[in-house]
Structure 1
């Protein structure tokens, strides 16, 4: 049960982080003067990595552990659902969010910013679904 609670803690912490970024941090980007934005964006990238890195690592470790050595009494479906949600988050981050942040690091662009907001909404929704799957695990596991 400890693994499941730790997994839930990582997924919930990441989802909360992601919604905070989407609702608070990214909307502030539009208020930064265009001339100052590249430096602002690069500082954002450095700082956010320090927070998101451990959350990604924790989720990856607990998800892989559940996939590789699922404890007796732990249902498979929510493990797979959570793994799929994490894959979406990591995929959207690698394929969309990181390249969009790099572009914004070169200079403000409204279209790039709007695409980042859409990508981030997808990450927040997937992270929330992953948290629901982790909660499902805690509530339905035997023992």
Structure 2
């Protein structure tokens, strides 16, 4: 049960982080003066990596651990659903968000910014669904 609770804490922390980025951080990008934006974006990338890196690593480890050694009474379906949600978040990050951040690192681009906000909504929704899946696993295991 401890593994499930740790996993829930990691997924919830990441979902909260992602919604904060989507609702607060990314909308503010448009208010940075264009001549200052490349430096701002590079600083954003460095700083956000310090938060998201450990959350991704922790979720990856606990997801694999749950898949390899589910606690007794933990149903497989929410573990698989949570793993699928994490896979979506990681794929969208690597294939869409990171390239858009690189593009923005070269200078302000309102089209790239709008695309990043849409991509980030997908990440936030997938992270929320992943948290719900883990909560389901915790409730099913404890009840």
Q: Same fold (TM over 0.5)?
A: yes
State the number of aligned residues: 143
Q: Report deviation, 1:84.
A: 0.3
1:118 paired with 2:118, answer yes
Residues 88-109 of structure 1: CA deviation (Å, up to 9, x unaligned): 0000000000000000000011
1:61 paired with 2:61, answer yes
Where does the alignment leave 5 or more consecutive residues of structure 2 unmatched? none
SS in 2 for 1:141: helix
SS in 1 for 2:137: helix
Q: Report deviation, 1:142.
A: 5.0
Q: Report deviation, 1:72.
A: 1.8
Where does the alignment leave 5 or more consecutive residues of structure 1 unmatched? none
Partner residue, 2:134? 134
Alignment of 1:31-50 (within 5 A): 31-50=31-50
1:104 paired with 2:104, answer yes
C-alpha separation in 2, matches of 1:94 and 1:141: 33
C-alpha separation in 2, matches of 1:139 and 1:74: 9
Post-superposition, which runs of at least 4 consecutive aligned residues in structure 1 deviate over 3 A?
none
Residues 27-51 of structure 1: CA deviation (Å, up to 9, x unaligned): 0000001110000000000000000
> TM-score normalised to the size of structure 2?
0.98
